[in-house]
Amino acid sequence: MGLFITVHLDNTKCPSGCKKCVTICPVDIFQMKSGKVFSDEMAEDECTLCDLCLEVCPIDNIEIQKHY
Ligand code: SF4
Ligand code: SF4
């Protein structure tokens, strides 16, 4: 988890083939590994809080927490 920002998602719920968050995030927080989407914990503090991932996720699967 990031020091200032945590990006949560449950990749067991993602519809097969969805990578909308990976595509839209301007700072590449989301990464694909073995066909599943993960949040790159080392990059989470780079999140700009633009909310684009929240808007494109079809199942409301992403939660962003600020720790400040
Ligand atoms: S809020 Fe914006 S910067 Fe942060 S993870 Fe989502 S798309 Fe990326
Ligand atoms: S946009 Fe939502 S459903 Fe699609 S890969 Fe990202 S977290 Fe999963």
At 39-58, the pLDDT tens digits run 999 999 999 999 999 999 99
Test site for ligand 2: of 7, 12, 19, most ligand atoms within 8 A of the Cβ: 19
Q: Would you state the pLDDT for residue 2?
A: 73
| Sequence-distant (≥ 6) Cβ neighbours of residue 11 within 8 angstroms | 36, 37, 38
Domain positions in the chain are 5-66
The model carries a pTM of 0.94
Taking all residues of the chain, what is their mean pLDDT, rounded to a whole number?
A: 96
> What are the DSSP E strand ranges found in the chain?
5-9, 30-33, 36-39, 62-66
- For residue 1, how far is its CA from the centre of ligand 1 (angstroms)? 14
| Sequence-distant (≥ 6) Cβ neighbours of residue 65 within 8 angstroms | 5, 6, 8
Q: Which two tokens stand for residue 59?
A: 């199942």
Q: Would you state the pLDDT for residue 3?
A: 86
DSSP 33: E
Test site for ligand 1: of 4, 49, 63, 66, most ligand atoms within 8 A of the Cβ: 49
- Looking at the structure, give the CATH architecture of the domain made up of residues 5-66: 2-Layer Sandwich (3.30)
Q: Is the confidence at residue 6, as pLDDT, over 90?
A: yes
